[in-house]
Chain A
Amino acid sequence: SAVISQKPSRDICQRGTSLTIQCQVDSQVTMMFWYRQQPGQSLTLIATANQGSEATYESGFVIDKFPISRPNLTFSTLTVSNMSPEDSSIYLCSAGGSEKLFFGSGTQLSVL
């Protein structure tokens, strides 16, 4: 199993600013992911954080808006850049694979 620590747990940000969310796993994991959950919506995969290379983004998500770092097998960051109110959402870090996913506690972001 894996325990994922994610911070901050919540933040209120001004339009046009950026926020970086950190995700720490208590063991080395191959796959780390970032999800978004907009109000009343399902979890949507933003990207897969690849260690040592650029993240793999899903359709509708781009690196300029959501830059991701993965410096090692236990840590990743997601930055939400140039925020607008439409970015208000819960952002979830996840690790695992085809058998099971472990999740962080999420970051609730509100953009004013």
Chain B
Amino acid sequence: AQRVTQPEKLLSVFKGAPVELKCNYSYSGSPELFWYVQYSRQRLQLLLRHISRESIKGFTADLNKGETSFHLKKPFAQEEDSAMYYCALSEGTYKYIFGTGTRLKVLA
């Protein structure tokens, strides 16, 4: 069955430290992977998608089909990065499967 796993519920890092939010997926075909973010008192919004291969707010994510992973990385965390991050998988249609989310806290 299709599944998205985010093993960490909470990740705390110090400002300026590297960040890696883990995401593993289970899917038999060729999925599209996304990271969505929800900042405090804001709505859920798209951060980036693997097919774009872009860097948004300093974050990047590489799809590793061998390890079925799509980890989100940033070399130097900022306090404004504190938020809830959701990894999501799409079968190429409108149906998305979301992970349970990781709360990132960047400490001053």
B28 within 8 A of A: no
Render B46-76 as a binary contact track against A, CB cut-off 8 A, 1 for contact: 1001000000000000000000000000000
Please report the number of residue pairs spanning A and B whose Cβ atoms sit closer than 8 angstroms.
40
For residue A76, give the distance in angstroms from its CB to the closest CB of chain B.
14
Instruction: Take A92-B44, A99-B49 as given contacts and tell me if A42 and B99 are in contact as well, using a CB distance cutoff of 8 Å.
Output: yes
Render B86-108 as a binary contact track against A, CB cut-off 8 A, 1 for contact: 10001011111111110000000
For residue A61, give the distance in angstroms from its CB to the closest CB of chain B.
14
Q: Do B90 and A103 touch across chains, with their CB atoms under 8 A apart?
A: no
Instruction: Take A98-B32, A98-B92 as given contacts and tell me if A104 and B100 are in contact as well, using a CB distance cutoff of 8 Å.
Output: no
Residue in A closest to B9 when the chains form the complex, CB atoms: A40
Q: Do B32 and A43 touch across chains, with their CB atoms under 8 A apart?
A: no
B32: which A residues are within 8 A, CB to CB? 98
Q: Do A98 and B93 touch across chains, with their CB atoms under 8 A apart?
A: yes
B94: which A residues are within 8 A, CB to CB? 31, 33, 48, 96-98
B45 within 8 A of A: yes
- Show the binding face of A for B, using Cβ within 8 Å: 4, 31, 33, 40-45, 48, 92, 96-106
- Show the binding face of B for A, using Cβ within 8 Å: 4, 32, 36, 43-46, 49, 86, 90, 92-101
